[in-house]
């Protein structure tokens, strides 16, 4: 292969396979070699080489026969190691599931296979997907391909590192408090957090009890090297859980059409409780200006929510959602009472209505993912006790993560993370494009406009 297909987009790979320019078997072989070459990143922790080779050959045979091909036919992919894969170990980053081999695929994996994609293996994560770094007692620490001394983020850190380093065509991860957005931001790739409930979570393992629940606030979504890839992948992933499939189907509203020549977009780059490093702010401003240059009407306005309340509700909601991972009654008590949960739910519904009203006047909202680029590995303590300095202020890792991610996740809104440039230290920075509930195609369309202004994905091997 003369083209470096390992860093090509999913869209390009699928078209090339269908046209006979490259075979699925060649792509699988190239990715397996690349994973071995960059083994020190520790991004792909379980590989199913034999099954991938067999599936790739079958995909190539289908092309030669002239069969009807799916939208991902022959494209190799990986998934976060908390997403069940039939016949392939799925650990959730824990010793508890060190030897667990599911008998069925998670719904998202089944849909990807049905679309023709070829599973390569599983990517690393923190235990129970519970941190903004990626390390665990089973597999160790994943490194950032831009700077091995820094974290790739979490919890879908192995996924983002693999996509950025060209070890996979794409990946699917999860996001409850930023676990898709933070790694995409730290690794310079694209991710999409779908509207809550749009993509089935059945088969996502977040507790010792298995993966039968639709976890509150949490979503599953794609990580890729272009905005168009995210749109293609969402088209495959979106759909009801099996228990609703007899009566429900998904038809996403089309992307909004810009009125008067351009989208009307709110900008939220300033918040007293969410500091931003000057270099990050400069890149955000430049990305916003690029949209203005393409006709967008940008206004410094955001929904009239109490951001501090949204962050607190998100944090408490995540704790409640993740208490099934608890193994003692004392730990389970952290989730609070059902009455407390209902009171918080009422406040969340009010906040969702505020967002919905705001989106009657605006098409999208721009905001940071985080206030700083990737930080050095720091595995002392917990996400609630570790601190870092952002623009001269000390923050816990949890507060750092939820500062910009919490309000969006709490409201269940779709958000596309796009890379917008590099700091002077050569570290990637991303930006969130938040859209109206269930109108996922609108932030994805705006992401393609941003891609035109920023140049899109850059390889860390620059």
What is the C-alpha to C-alpha distance for residues 462 and 334, in angstroms, rounded to an integer?
46
Instruction: Assess contact for 207 and 218: CB atoms under 8 A.
Output: no
CB-CB contact of 400 with 369 (8 Å)? no
Q: Which residue of the set 24, 129, 155, 156 is catalytic?
A: 155
Euclidean distance between CA atoms 180 and 189, whole angstroms = 10
Q: 106 with 202: CB under 8 angstroms?
A: yes
Active site residue 174: no
Classified as helix, coil or strand, 226 is: coil
| Catalytic annotation, pick one of 129, 156, 179, 195 | 179
HSE value, Cβ hemisphere, 13 Å, CA-based, for 320: 18
Asked if 156 is an active-site residue, the reply is no
- Distance separating alpha carbons of residues 118 and 114, to the nearest angstrom: 10
Distance CA 31, CA 53 (A): 11
Is residue 155 part of the annotated active site? The answer reads: yes
Query: Radius of gyration of the chain from Cα atoms?
Result: 21
Residue 34, classed as helix, strand or coil, is helix
How far apart are the C-alpha atoms of 69 and 180, rounded to whole Å? 29
Using CA atoms, how far apart are residues 400 and 153, in angstroms rounded to an integer? Answer: 12
The residue from 80, 174, 200, 207 that is catalytic is 80
CA distance 108 to 90: 14
Whole-number Å distance between alpha carbons of 302 and 131: 28
423 within 8 A of 237, measured Cβ to Cβ: no
- Long-range CB pairs of 376-382, under 8 A, 24+ apart, other chains included: 376/149, 376/150, 376/151, 377/133, 377/135, 377/141, 377/149, 377/150, 377/151, 378/133, 378/151, 379/133, 379/135, 379/141, 382/131
Active site residues: 80, 155, 179
């Amino acid at each position: 292969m003369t083209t470096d297909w390992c860093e090509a987009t999913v869209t390009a790979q699928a078209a090339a396979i269908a046209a006979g320019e490259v075979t699925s078997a060649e792509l699988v072989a190239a990715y397996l070699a690349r994973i071995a070459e960059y083994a020190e990143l520790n991004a792909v922790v379980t590989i199913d080489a034999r099954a991938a080779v067999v599936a790739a050959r079958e995909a190539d045979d289908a092309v030669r026969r002239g069969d009807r091909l799916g939208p991902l036919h022959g494209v190799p992919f990986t998934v976060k190691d908390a997403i069940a894969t039939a016949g392939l170990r799925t650990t959730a980053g824990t010793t508890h599931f060190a030897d667990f081999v599911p008998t069925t695929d998670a719904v998202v994996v089944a849909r990807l296979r049905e679309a023709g994609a070829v599973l390569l293996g599983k990517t690393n994560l923190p235990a129970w997907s519970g941190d903004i770094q990626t390390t665990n007692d089973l597999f160790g620490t994943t490194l950032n391909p831009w700077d091995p001394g820094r974290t790739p983020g979490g919890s879908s850190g192995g996924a983002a590192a693999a996509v950025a380093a060209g070890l996979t065509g794409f990946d699917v991860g999860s996001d409850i408090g930023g676990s898709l957005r933070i790694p995409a931001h730290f690794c310079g790739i694209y991710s999409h957090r779908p509207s809550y409930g749009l993509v089935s979570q059945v088969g996502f393992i977040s507790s010792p009890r298995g993966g039968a629940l639709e976890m509150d606030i949490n979503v599953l979504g794609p990580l890729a090297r272009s905005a168009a890839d995210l749109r293609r992948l969402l088209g495959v992933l979106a759909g009801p859980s099996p228990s609703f499939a007899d009566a429900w189907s998904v038809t996403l509203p089309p992307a909004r059409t810009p009125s008067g020549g351009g989208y009307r977009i709110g900008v939220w780059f300033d918040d007293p409780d969410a500091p931003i490093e000057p270099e990050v702010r400069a890149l955000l401003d430049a990305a916003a200006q690029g949209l203005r240059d393409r006709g967008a009407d940008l206004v410094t306005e955001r929904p009239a929510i109490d951001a501090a309340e949204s962050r607190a509700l998100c944090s408490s909601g995540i704790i409640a959602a993740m208490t099934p991972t608890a193994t003692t009654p004392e730990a389970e008590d952290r989730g609070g009472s059902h009455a407390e949960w209902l009171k918080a739910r009422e406040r969340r519904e009010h906040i969702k209505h505020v967002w919905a009203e705001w989106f009657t006047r605006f098409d999208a909202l721009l905001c940071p993912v985080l206030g700083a680029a990737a930080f050095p590995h720091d595995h002392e303590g917990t996400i609630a006790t570790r601190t870092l300095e952002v623009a001269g202020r000390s923050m816990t890792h949890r507060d750092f993560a939820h500062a910009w991610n919490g309000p969006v996740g709490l409201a269940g809104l779709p958000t596309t993370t796009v890379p917008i440039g590099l700091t002077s230290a050569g570290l990637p920075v991303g930006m969130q494009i938040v859209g109206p509930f269930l109108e996922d195609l609108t932030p994805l369309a705006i992401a393609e406009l941003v891609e035109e202004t920023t140049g899109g994905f850059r390889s860390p091997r620059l």
